[in-house]
A and B are shown apart, each in its own frame.
Chain A
């Protein structure tokens, strides 16, 4: 792998990312699957870096999962999105930052569609007006929350307590990145680094001391596939795709996986468990699995937040071996506790994949 070649490509795909004054929109999936990540994101931006991030309780789902499950028509999501933009406009912001990759892709697609078909934009304005009486401007910048962290990665690095370095060997951790498909596959120039060698996560990892391993299936989808996961009969597809990725990355012996998509970390995490329970195959050193993180979690880790504040206890693949590698302290006693030490009991342990 020649890094020079990649650098050439990264030069060509630089997008405009503001460094302050964001209108923040949440991700349905993230909130459900990794509830702490968005909490951490806001904490880092607001408290750690002193940025102005606006959030309104009135925003809703963008409808993306419904849209990609084909039960919600394009015009409907277009108008829902117009409503989100209206909320931004009303709040006086123009830097739109969303937490969800599906949303990000959908926003990009719809803005592009409006560019190609101005009559649709007019129709949407009318629909929104009819339905809600609201009006909207198209945001000046559209960022995914990972773009924002990428933009601020060096500021985070400056404040970091830990580096993504194996404290036993002194070598950078080998990190696999997984980019959500809708981040840049449709519009390569809307993502940092493009579609082929996206730099958004790699930039973070490099700034925080780690090393990205590039493996043949790095671009492959986790297999969520909307209806393919949501319907139980189709889940074999989802599982097969993640399996394919793990088979491909396994020889590189990665220490961890970082993702920028709300759903992918769930699948990359849980399908490891399913593969272990159905086929007996456990990835990672000592059969402990390869831990999977959201980029917010990784940022929180290097900044030295308590792992259980980051919500790392909701991962099926145990994170402790990695925390040990970096040297991040944690209290095993409090892992499964609620607020103020409330005892929540312990989850069962899976039979094949090794936990701590």
Chain B
């Protein structure tokens, strides 16, 4: 029986683990956190079906058979390639000898504090999109005062497309998430006024544009093209926003009860320490460098080390699954050869 170490038990890792274990391989699923399921497990409902994220993760976990072993709360300390095998030492001095490694380390969300002018961690009513999902989960979307918000603004591109914070790339999913969350707020509080501050609305995938249309026609969500320049806090702890309505060519001022920062994806920070151990490297944007961007995007430059999911760049959930299934199939082929 061949064996694989999958590093990262997010949806890509879980999906590949279930595929590979079904093929009869031994799978070690290494997760640095106690909980598995990655970022998706932290989400409330998923676009477009409004399926609960928890159900998606549960399905994945259910699909794992007994050949898949989940090693939660452990990190790779050391890795060495010996005779076409990889010797891994995990935290707690657990040793593994595997035939191949699949990297599914995923992404980190942007630390919103770094965008100082938005006042995350300073102003009472500034939260991130991830925070909002937690509030949705708890059915408790309220301001710091405990009152439902009467006005909410979503700021797109927080930590994305921003050289000042070192992320030039677009995180792909924030636009659609912002529109999703805007609609969800309107569903909760139909009288709440919702504003989306965007630079470009990147509604690139199936159903995305439909939801945008619905956000306009059904929910009357306001879309303002202009990047938030700065936020301030007034005496009532509301957030005062300054942006330009670039379509009107005029500066715009707006006071909201709740400001939601659509934090982007950036390369996983703990990945960097792993790179040298695995013999892989990152591109300038921090995401892992694949062997070929078109034809071999699940391959690393090290034979036997594969990639799947957002460790090679921002992806939507369906894209992540597709990538994980592709990687699993390639790993299987590698093991059988």
Contacts and interface: CB of A to CB of B under 8 A. Distances in A.
Contact between A and B in the complex (any CB pair below 8 Å)? yes
Interface of A: 1-2, 4-6, 8-9, 194-197, 214-219, 248, 251-252
Nearest to A194: B116
Given A216-B234, A219-B230, A251-B235, A5 B119 contact: yes
A197 B116 contact: yes
B268 to A, nearest CB: 22
A2 B232 contact: no
B166 interface: no
A248 B238 CA distance: 13
A251 B234 contact: yes
B195 interface: no
Given A194-B116, A216-B240, A5 B122 contact: yes
Contact of B121 (A2, A215, A216): A2
A214 B116 CA distance: 14
B132 to A, nearest CB: 18
Interface string B99-124: 00000000000000100110111111
Given A1-B124, A2-B122, A216 B233 contact: yes
Nearest to B164: A188
A217 B232 contact: yes
Given A5-B119, A196-B230, 15 more contacts: A1-B124, A2-B124, A6-B122, A8-B113, A9-B113, A9-B116, A9-B122, A195-B116, A196-B117, A197-B116, A215-B235, A216-B232, A216-B240, A251-B234, A252-B235
Contacts of B122: 1-2, 5-6, 9, 197
Contacts of B116: 9, 194-197
Contacts of B119: 5
Contacts of B123: 1-2
B117 A5 contact: no
Question: Lowest 10 A-B CB distances belong to which pairs?
Answer: A216-B232, A5-B121, A5-B122, A196-B116, A216-B240, A251-B235, A196-B117, A2-B122, A216-B234, A6-B122
Nearest to B255: A216
B119 to A, nearest CB: 7
Sort chain B's interface into a size bin.
10 to 19
Contacts of A217: 232
A218 B113 contact: no
B247 to A, nearest CB: 24
A61 B172 CA distance: 51
A283 to B, nearest CB: 15
Contacts of A219: 230
Contacts of A5: 113, 119-122
A219 B240 CA distance: 13
Give the most central of B113, B116, B120: most A CB within 10 Å.
Answer: B116
Interface string B235-269: 10100100000000000000000000000000000
Contacts of B120: 5
A197 to B, nearest CB: 7
A286 B327 CA distance: 73
Contacts of B237: 1
Contacts of A8: 113, 121
15 contacts: A1-B124, A1-B237, A2-B124, A4-B121, A5-B113, A8-B113, A194-B116, A196-B116, A197-B116, A215-B234, A216-B233, A216-B240, A218-B232, A248-B232, A251-B235
Nearest to A213: B235
